[in-house]
Structure 1
Amino acid sequence: MKLDDDIHNYYEHLVLEKIEALGFNQSKSADFLADLTCLVLNQLPPRYIRHEVDMAFYLPASERRQMEMNVSHAVNNASKYLEAHPKTEE
């Protein structure tokens, strides 16, 4: 068993969905997106799963909504931080 292939954090999926929904993947650089993703995931508790279908069948709708709200809040905080602290060219 390879852990990196079999187990992943469900929040990664939610974060990427939110980034795409906001259009950041179209308007921001790859470097910005990587920093944003790291900052967002570091604000969220890990939720490890083996299969996406596990979450579809066993996650109550109320918990899913709460997770989505947590992601929205974390993306908002992280994007504000990155906008306020742009990287300077070395």
Structure 2
Amino acid sequence: MTIDTQIANYYEKLVVDELTSRDEVAGKPEDELADIACVALNRLPARYYRFSVDMAFYLSVQEQHQMELAVRDAVTHALKFVQEHGRGGE
């Protein structure tokens, strides 16, 4: 197992979960969703963990709520940004 398979950014999961919960992304191609996720993630700080249980254990309820709000705002911005500016591969 290499190091890059042992670590992950917690915000990646939160962004994907938020993005796929939105009705306005239904029917969008996977590569467009990836572009939107990248724009959203670039607006958020990195929050790396090695084991997902680490994040659940160390985050307070307030911190988790703040992260969810930040993710919601970042995804909203990213959806508008990609719609207005086009996708990176175009």
Within 2, Cα distance between the matches of 1:18 and 1:34?
13
* Root mean square deviation, CA, Å: 1.7
Within 2, Cα distance between the matches of 1:36 and 1:72?
12
Within 1, Cα distance between the matches of 2:41 and 2:3?
19
Corresponding letter in the other structure for 1:5? T
> For structure 1, which segment, 55-64 or 78-87, has the greater mean C-alpha deviation from structure 2 after superposition?
78-87
Aligned pairs for 1:43-82 (under 5 A) are 43-82=43-82
Task: Give aligned pairs, total.
Answer: 88
1:11 aligns with 2:36: no
Structure 1, unaligned runs of 5 or more: none
1:27 is displaced (CA, Å) by 2.1
Percent identity of the aligned residues? 46
Alignment deviations for residues 70-89 of structure 1 (CA, whole Å, 9 cap, x no partner): 100000011001111235xx
Structure with greater helix percent: 1
Structure 2, unaligned runs of 5 or more: none
